[in-house]
Amino acid sequence: MKTLALYPGSFDPITYGHLDILKRATELFDTIIVTIAVNNRKETVFSGDEREKMIKTCLEDEEWAENVQIEQFTGLLVDFAREKGAQTLVRGVRQISDFEYEFRMALTNRRLAPDVDTVFLMPNEQLTFISASLVKEVAYWDGDLSSFVPEHVAEALHGYYKDKEQ
Ligand code: PNS
């Protein structure tokens, strides 16, 4: 049986930490759908299409990403999982402080859809401190983003905050 998992998140924007988790997930599942939450209750810097395009660019020359698809979704994640026939959600856990939120979210999703399970993966330890929100903070102050996100993502972030200043 072929295995299919969703890798859901805001990806606002995608970071090296996300890419590390995604690569690990491709080693465990036949197909992964990077599932971008759009029009959710969270305000985002980038639109769904912008986030999707950035992720696509990250993956275009990566052999390991052959079986990765990218989709946007609105609404409950478990509804989207059912629509796709996915029984597994992949989430990255960087440190213990992430765990409480992740645990609550996984159990809420399980209550809503007992047939959908969440697996947690840890990123490379060098990447555990990276988060999209801290990356945005560094970008806001025009800092060097090269160790946090790919170049095209850094350019998009710097462009966004430069435009905001004007
Ligand atoms: O990258 P993030 O912001 O931590 O991802 C959170 C995300 C998008 C996976 C989560 O908020 C989500 O699944 N939102 C859709 C609504 C939903 O199904 N919530 C889960 C029930 S608690």
pLDDT at position 165 is 77
User: Of 142, 109, 107, 148, which Cα lies nearest the Cα of 126?
Assistant: 148
In this structure, is residue 132 part of a structural domain?
no
pLDDT band per the 50, 70, 90 thresholds, residue 75 = very high
Residue 68: which H helix or E strand, with range? strand 68-73
> Which CATH number does the domain housing residue 50 bear?
3.40.50.620
Q: Distance (Å, rounded) from C-alpha 128 to C-alpha 83? A: 32
Query: Does 109 contact ligand 1 (Cβ within 6 A)?
Result: yes
Task: Answer whether residue 39 shows pLDDT above 90.
Answer: no
In this structure, is residue 89 part of a structural domain?
yes
pLDDT digits (tens, 9 = 90+) for 149-159: 999 999 999 99
Query: Does 9 contact ligand 1 (Cβ within 6 A)?
Result: yes
Instruction: Name the residue with the closest Cα to ligand 1, atom 1.
Output: 9
Query: Does 21 contact ligand 1 (Cβ within 6 A)?
Result: no
Instruction: Name the residue with the closest Cα to ligand 1, atom 19.
Output: 76
Mean predicted confidence (pLDDT) in 106-131: 96
Number of domains in the chain: 1
**Buried b / exposed e across 101-128, counting CB within 10 Å, b at 16+?**
eeeeebeebeeebeebebeebebeeebb
Which range of residues forms the domain containing residue 37?
A: 4-126
pLDDT at position 164 is 82
User: Of 10, 18, 45, 8, which Cα lies nearest the Cα of 136?
Assistant: 45
In this structure, is residue 63 part of a structural domain?
yes
pLDDT at position 1 is 81
In the chain, DSSP finds a helix count (H) and a strand count (E) of 6, 5
pLDDT digits (tens, 9 = 90+) for 105-114: 999 999 999 9
Atom of ligand 1 nearest to the CA of 11: 1
Whole-structure pTM over 0.85, yes or no?
yes
In this structure, is residue 102 part of a structural domain?
yes
pLDDT band per the 50, 70, 90 thresholds, residue 33 = very high
Proportion of the chain above pLDDT 70, given as a percent = 99
In this structure, is residue 92 part of a structural domain?
yes
Residues 6+ away with beta carbon under 8 Å from 133: none
